[in-house]
Structure formats: C-alpha cells, structure tokens
Amino acid sequence: MPWEKQFDVDGALTKAMNAFWARGYEATSMQDLVDCMGINRGSVYATFGNKRSLFIQALRHYDGLHRRTWVEGLCRSRGPKDAILAAFEEAIAAALGTGGRDGCLLVNTALELSPHDREICHIVAEGQTEMETFFAHKIAEGQGRGDIPETVDAGETACALLSLFIGLRVLARSRPEPPLLHAVARQAKALLE
C-alpha cells in the first residue's frame, strides 16, 4: 500500500508561502519552515523538495492566490478604468492595513532573488508581464467604451502603470505613508486622462 500524506499539502504550502513572504527567502531557514508548516523535515523534503524548490512552489502559489485571483476579481466587478484605479487603491489599502509592510511577495522576490536566479526571475517577470497586460487590455477596453481618451498609448501607458505599481509596492514596505502612496495613485489616474 502506498504511503499517504497525513497533512494538508495546500495548507502546508500556504504556511510556507506566508513564512517566505514575512521573512524573505534567505532569512527563512528550513527549521522555520518545518516549524510553521507543522510537519516533519522528512515530509517537507519528500513532498516539496529542497528549500529552493519549496520556495518556487510557494511563489507560484502566491501568484495564483494573490495576484491572478485578485486581478480576475477586479476585471469581473469593475469597468476598465475603475479596475486599473482600484488596483492602486486596493494595494494602498493593503499597505496601510495589518501586515502591509510585508509588501508583495513577487516584488520582494524581484529585489531579493531575481538578479541571481534565472528560474525565479522568469516567474517574477511572468507576473509582471501579466500585470502589464492587464493594464493594456483595460486601457484598450476603456478606450472602446469612451472612458479613456484615444490619445493614451495603451502599450506605453501600461508600462508606466506597471512601473508605478511596482514602485508603490516597494514604497509600501519602506515608507507606508498615506500621502506618498496616494500621490502614486494620482499619477496613475493622470496617465488615463
């Protein structure tokens, strides 16, 4: 009879994700992961592989759970221009709320590991590209509805919005000051007018 896992794999992955998100890759030890996941070291290795492999799985889990699902919700519940502006406002609300200084795991990883690890850089770049695409599609959709002027270049503006969004996420970690964060959101809005 094959060996069965005696723990919730998805739940354990979420706990590992939260540990990496709070501390970063380098500052999170295998013992930290064993402790927070509530499973023995052998089960961690057997299920997830080494620390780097676990981190990659946790990063992909984060991206699906926190970025993709969130963006899909924005697209379903709001018009194009409002979806873009809500992305900034919701990021600000998260930054000013409990745990806001943890920032975004993708952005944190871009700063900590992307320059040194090609596979992780690819995962981060994929997430950034998808955000840029979200902005570009919403701009084009907004132009089709007359909410965003035709003079706005969708590609260039999407790139600028991505830069502002990443900058907002970085500032949220180091200077979560409402006037500063709201100034970034105002610049995003100005690009759409």
- Tell me how far apart the terminal alpha carbons of the chain are, to the nearest angstrom: 64
Question: For residue 88, what is the domain's CATH number?
Answer: 1.10.357.10
152 DSSP 8-state letter: S
- Residue 15 counted as domain residue: no
- What's the number of domains the chain is made of? 1
- Residue 37 counted as domain residue: no
- Residue 39 counted as domain residue: no
**Domain range enclosing 124:** 60-191
**Residue 97 clears pLDDT 60, i.e. is over it:** yes
Model confidence pLDDT, tens digit, residues 81-91: 999 999 999 99
- Residue 120 counted as domain residue: yes
79 DSSP 8-state letter: -
Model confidence pLDDT, tens digit, residues 119-166: 999 999 999 999 999 999 999 999 999 999 999 999 999 999 999 999
pLDDT at residue 1, rounded to an integer: 43
Q: How confident is the model at residue 69 (pLDDT cuts 50, 70, 90)?
A: very high
- Residue 127 counted as domain residue: yes
pLDDT at residue 5, rounded to an integer: 61
- What does the pLDDT average to over 21-33? 94
Sign of the C-alpha dihedral, residues 55, 56, 60, 61? negative
From residue 160, give the alpha-carbon distance in Å to each of 133, 145, 176: 12, 22, 21
**Percentage with pLDDT > 70 across the chain:** 96
- Residue 178 counted as domain residue: yes
- Residue 171 counted as domain residue: yes
Give the span between the Cα atoms of 18 and 41, in whole angstroms.
Answer: 18
What is the amino acid identity at position 15?
Answer: K
Average per-residue pLDDT for the chain:
93
- Residue 47 counted as domain residue: no
Q: How confident is the model at residue 99 (pLDDT cuts 50, 70, 90)?
A: low
- What does the pLDDT average to over 12-38? 95
Give 103 or 51, the one with higher predicted confidence: 51
